[in-house]
Amino acid sequence: MHESSEKMVNQLLTELDGVEDLEKVMILAATNRADLIDPALLRPGRFDAIVELGIPDKLTREKIFEVHTRNMPLDKDVKLQEYIDKTDKWTGAEIESLCRESGLQAIKRVYRAKKDEKVNLTIIKADFDYALDNITKSRKKSQSNPMSQMPSMEEIESMSKELANNITNNKEDNQDKEDQKDKK
């Protein structure tokens, strides 16, 4: 853990476990790397509830699309069910981004239209398809990003212990070899 992170965790623990009772205090935090949270923060009695939100299922994705397209002028050719099906394993933020990006694409399309063309500002299927393609590419890049494949803290600890054991074993092997040489 970096020194600044350690200081922050220690300060938070001091506040949580302080002499004064905390009244009317609510702590709200979010992370996409729960495996990196210091276990001392999660000890029983520190928090009343820890809520984990997973990847949305089909019904939840449908609700997310409803919320983010509620005030959007969608063309009748836009079938949200198609995009609900195509966004399996997407986060709510990614779905929100898809809706926002499709709206921006519609604005760009209308803006680029010739002045003599009458174009209504409606979001058409092509706008959603363009946004879907862009975000899908972005997701693939982030999934292939080496940083997204970083080992968890538990894996790092395990690797460190294994490395320490290997070093100890090599030292013992080398010592045994030297002892055998000395005997000859």
Q: Are 61 and 84 in contact (CB under 8 A)?
A: yes
Domains contained in the chain, CATH given: 7-52 (no CATH), 58-144 (1.10.8.60)
Q: What is the pLDDT of residues 145-166, one digit of tens each?
A: 555 555 666 666 777 777 777 7
For range 3-31, the mean pLDDT: 76
Would you state the pLDDT for residue 114? 78
Would you state the pLDDT for residue 85? 97
Give pTM, 2 decimals: 0.60
- Whether the CA torsion 36, 38, 44, 45 is positive or negative: it is negative
d(CA 6, CA 31): 17
d(CA 146, CA 10): 30
Confidence check: pLDDT of 51 > 90: no
d(CA 78, CA 35): 39
d(CA 19, CA 150): 38
